[in-house]
Structure 1
Amino acid sequence: MHDILINWSPQETRVAIIENGAVQELHLERTLERGLVGNVYLGKVARVLPGMQSAFIDIGLERAAFLHVADLHTSGPHHGKGDNGNNVPPVPIEKQVFEGQTLTVQVIKDPIGTKGARLSTQISVAGRMLVFLPQDNHIGISQKIGSPEAREQLRTRMQALVGKPEEGGGGGFILRTNAEEASDSELGDDIAYLRKTWGLIRQRAVTQPAGSLLHQDLGLAERVLRDLATEQTQAIRIDSQQQFDLLKAFGTAYTPASSAKLEHYRGERPIFDLFGIEEEIARALARRVDLKSGGYLIIDQTEALTTIDVNTGGFVGARNFDDTIFKTNLEAALAIARQLRLRNLGGIIIVDFIDMVREEHQHAVLSEFRKQLARDRTKTTVSGFTQLGLVEMTRKRTRESLAHMLCQPCSTCAGRGQVKTARSVCYDILREILREARQFDPKEFRVLASASVVEMLLDEESQHLADLSAFIKKPISLSAEPALNPEQYDIVLM
């Protein structure tokens, strides 16, 4: 069982999922930086790239979005088997789209880093229990729903509710897991809502100019009721009376079960202070994560992949060294799965557990790791231990990580994570003075640098500075500039 806390302000909505008193997931949405996934746009083809079988589409954003041939909806054969049993090759993208063409497209992946949004022409509109696929006629059922018999029964019910295209029905639907216990009237209401939404999208597509937003997915607070709340949710608390009223109205119409769990938090202390969530966010941005046993994790996030290193630290509680390593790795498996959810780390992830000699220990740790990852809403794939003793895994990247949303690269180190030592900068300065002394003939060289560099030149490097001054036969003066960062300096010719 878990609780959901919603901290709302006009500029930002933050959601924390609490289980057993600990934060398991953090979701954050800023009004000016709302994610684009689910948004439907009227796009214009800017460029077709046959070599990459893709196209760049202008949807009115800063960067052109990306459409791959695999994400193009076609009414004819695309992939599959032909009459003769051979694979039918996909129709090349240059035969399906052309520059200047307008397309109704949907964002399936947010822009990340330097990459533009990824698009699909297969439009889907999410409802409370159903996902509507207006260009298809297929009825899909979530694999998490009951037995094959239960799924077939639901499919039969849905086909009757959807109706035939010639009778004004049709369209494809996917039943979400929360549709399992739904009545025909609830499913019918969802179908009507989704068809109405699609009708509005089509109407805007013929009246709006290219680059227009035709449909926007629900905000984070509404998605809590639609997507995050489950039978395991005990209470949903929100700290804004205005948003509570809006959510109550939305929930009563679309998610009555979730709406019944909605509470307005009126406490004096900020809602996120109840479970120390502000401190948890600060820890989720740190490189080091301490384990209760005394061990710790080191998490490094790079452009290509994320590495997680497990260390025993001060843990010496077990009877022998093998048991110490085993118990640290077991605790780390649980902590890593939680950190992946908290930080929303995606892409390739390499975990360096402490080397284990016994094979049964390796199997137990891997089994525990997979068990903890199974709780993740986001798709994960885990390989076994490699020859180097590393665990390779992937976690689907659907939005920016917490660190990328809340932080930016350091202006001093430019994202390197380290800066030159004061001594290295001193030697750079001495070389630069020598270089300029060969070209110019000033009365004096004045060095402007950070306080730590000036201090070292006056103390430990004073002899080298004096020797250089004697060699070039010019005085060298020093000036500490608080505004300069540790690597910055300037040499002024007086």
Structure 2
Amino acid sequence: MILVINKKDDRPQVALLEDGRLVEIYFPEDEESVAGSIFVGKIEKFVPALEAAFVKLSNDENGFLRLKDIKQEYLEFFGLKKLQEGQKVLVQIKKEGGQTKGPQVTTNIGLPGRYVVLMPFSHSIGVSRKIQDQDDRSRLKELGSRLREKLSCGFIMRTAAAEATEEQIYHEGELLLSKWNELIKEFKKAKKVKLLYKESDSDAFVLREFLKQGVDEVITNSAAYKELIREYSRDIRVKIIEGDVFEELGINKELKKILSRYIPLPSGGEIVIDKTEAMVVIDVNSGHFTTTSDHEELSEQINAEAAKEIARILRLRNLGGIIIIDFIDMRSEKSRNRIIEIMKKEVLKDRNRVEIYGFTQLGLLEMTRKRTTKSLDERLTTTCPVCSGKGTIPSPELVIEQLFNELKKKPKDVSEVIVKLHPHFREIINKEEIKKVAKLNVHVHFTHVNPADFEITWKK
């Protein structure tokens, strides 16, 4: 794998290439309330019907705190029986907000390192699900238990811990505990809401999260990374190039392709992606792929190819929530099981948690993907000002009908009218038709920017 780090305006943009293909990307956040940030907040209001509270944050957002996310250990730590309105509270962004929702916050704080996540209000020990080897899981579970006894905190052993020494893990645990103690001091001194902790733009964050096992080369435009990477491994090649690395390697061009609704498959098939705030629906089409006359064999070949591409796109675009995939119909249970196995193998590469539930009676594959940060679509696209996000506009026939209806309502004492239409009406309508309806002198200009409507100006 190749890790690409593009330093732009002193902030790192990151891409991960696997066999030459883009599989993961990261852009620094412009906003304050990114997932993982820790705030001094204030309880604004409890809403019993929602079983939640709204928490004021320093960026004028209201965080959504579910009552089940108020840890009993948190209350005991601060000597509280319960939280009250107007009280300051230490919270962490659990999930970033969307266009209509504020961020979701929790009191179950987690401080991540490269090998472990420190959980100060927990005493449990977890091991990353991506560590498949049972011997590694047992060893790390035991190591985590000893670390808990020494530092009196819960821990999650991350995927990278499988390759780390016991000394490295202990050292990181102690560093995280020291950082936590500093945060607690800051929280106790705080008189108003404020951001306490954020590191998602730092070089340390980039290397910790993306310099994973399997990366054997780093390409960057910042020589400073050479020394930083040596602290992790001396076996990783570092290539320094000038200018915008994303532009040089064609990553910007690739981004435009993967944000499309239609994603072509190498064989000639395609996948079609539609999304809502809570659900992603994906349709698999055979397109021009007809190399075999056997329907079942054809379906399985295209679906296998699509399964790999879908796992890549979900990870790359950071799409989450409920995911429904309409694969090409397969009659054989064996074929369906093969597709599920391919999906399970591919999603293991994903940093986010993915659950695959299997095929429904209608032949749709159900799965979920946990997402804590904004999708690439939300980061790099905006709602169309013409269709307002619907993806469709009124047909030309409907717009013309509405235009004729307005022309029939002409005011008294007017001698002419100026009509402005979008250029694509030039081949659909002519001035004589408009004159016939308006029954006066008409000037038609095909200069209107919006194909969904028109502009009328009456002249006396």
**Structure 1 and Structure 2 fold alike (TM over 0.5):** yes
Could you say which residue in structure 2 is the equivalent of 1:385? 359
How far does the alpha carbon of each residue in 1:179-202 deviate from its partner, in whole angstroms, 9 at most, with x for none?
A: 345445434432332222122212
Could you say which residue in structure 1 is the equivalent of 2:318? 344
Could you say which residue in structure 1 is the equivalent of 2:217? 235
Over 3 Å counting, the alpha-carbon distance change for 1:476 and 1:354 in structure 2 is farther
Output the CA distance in 2 between the equivalents of 1:477 and 1:21.
Answer: 59
For 1:236, give the aligned amino acid: V
Kept in 1: contact 2:448–2:455 (CA 8 A):
no
Over 3 Å counting, the alpha-carbon distance change for 1:11 and 1:441 in structure 2 is farther
Q: Secondary structure at the match of 2:43?
A: strand
Output the CA distance in 2 between the equivalents of 1:359 and 1:187.
Answer: 45
In structure 2, which of residues 127, 143, 147 is the aligned counterpart of residue 158 of structure 1?
A: 147
Over 3 Å counting, the alpha-carbon distance change for 1:359 and 1:182 in structure 2 is closer
Could you say which residue in structure 1 is the equivalent of 2:393? 419
For 2:445, give the aligned amino acid: A
Question: In percent, how many aligned pairs have the same letter?
Answer: 30
How far does the alpha carbon of each residue in 1:22-55 deviate from its partner, in whole angstroms, 9 at most, with x for none?
A: 122122224x246611211111111110111101
**CA shift at 1:350, angstroms?**
1.4
Output the CA distance in 2 between the equivalents of 1:393 and 1:3.
Answer: 29
Matches within 5 A, 1:211-222: 211-219=193-201, 221-222=203-204
Could you say which residue in structure 2 is the equivalent of 1:478? 443
**CA shift at 1:282, angstroms?**
1.3
**CA shift at 1:98, angstroms?**
2.1
Kept in 1: contact 2:23–2:316 (CA 8 A):
yes
Q: Secondary structure at the match of 1:456?
A: coil
Could you say which residue in structure 1 is the equivalent of 2:458? 493
**CA shift at 1:412, angstroms?**
1.4
Output the CA distance in 1 between the equivalents of 2:202 and 2:315.
Answer: 17
Could you say which residue in structure 2 is the equivalent of 1:282? 256
Q: Secondary structure at the match of 1:415?
A: coil
Pair 1:428 & 2:426 matched: no
Could you say which residue in structure 2 is the equivalent of 1:92? none
Could you say which residue in structure 2 is the equivalent of 1:19? 18
Pair 1:199 & 2:173 matched: no
Output the CA distance in 2 between the equivalents of 1:21 and 1:309.
Answer: 26
Could you say which residue in structure 1 is the equivalent of 2:43? 45
Could you say which residue in structure 2 is the equivalent of 1:114? 100
Q: Which runs of 5+ in 2 are unaligned?
A: none
Output the CA distance in 1 between the equivalents of 2:262 and 2:209.
Answer: 31
Could you say which residue in structure 2 is the equivalent of 1:101? 87
Kept in 2: contact 1:25–1:341 (CA 8 A):
yes
Which stretch of structure 1 is more off in the superposition, 317-326 or 287-296? 317-326
The structure with the largest alpha-carbon Rg is: 1
Q: Secondary structure at the match of 2:437?
A: helix
Over 3 Å counting, the alpha-carbon distance change for 1:307 and 1:329 in structure 2 is same
Q: Secondary structure at the match of 2:73?
A: coil
Output the CA distance in 2 between the equivalents of 1:7 and 1:142.
Answer: 29
For 1:412, give the aligned amino acid: V
Could you say which residue in structure 1 is the equivalent of 2:232? 257
Pair 1:453 & 2:446 matched: no
After superposition, the CA RMSD in angstroms is 2.8
Q: Secondary structure at the match of 2:72?
A: coil
How far does the alpha carbon of each residue in 1:461-490 deviate from its partner, in whole angstroms, 9 at most, with x for none?
A: x34x344234xxxx0513325353112322
Output the CA distance in 2 between the equivalents of 1:103 and 1:301.
Answer: 35
**CA shift at 1:442, angstroms?**
2.8
Pair 1:376 & 2:350 matched: yes
Over 3 Å counting, the alpha-carbon distance change for 1:295 and 1:191 in structure 2 is closer
TM-score (norm 1): 0.83
For 1:486, give the aligned amino acid: P
For 1:150, give the aligned amino acid: R
Kept in 1: contact 2:215–2:236 (CA 8 A):
no
**CA shift at 1:347, angstroms?**
0.9
Q: Which runs of 5+ in 1 are unaligned?
A: 79-94, 163-169
Over 3 Å counting, the alpha-carbon distance change for 1:273 and 1:111 in structure 2 is same
Which stretch of structure 1 is more off in the superposition, 33-42 or 392-401? 33-42
Over 3 Å counting, the alpha-carbon distance change for 1:469 and 1:369 in structure 2 is same
Over 3 Å counting, the alpha-carbon distance change for 1:185 and 1:161 in structure 2 is farther
Over 3 Å counting, the alpha-carbon distance change for 1:62 and 1:476 in structure 2 is farther
Matches within 5 A, 1:321-340: 321-340=295-314
**CA shift at 1:369, angstroms?**
2.4
Output the CA distance in 1 between the equivalents of 2:141 and 2:163.
Answer: 14
**CA shift at 1:221, angstroms?**
3.8
Output the CA distance in 2 between the equivalents of 1:39 and 1:233.
Answer: 27
For 2:419, give the aligned amino acid: V
TM-score (norm 2): 0.89
Could you say which residue in structure 2 is the equivalent of 1:468? 437
Q: Secondary structure at the match of 2:174?
A: helix
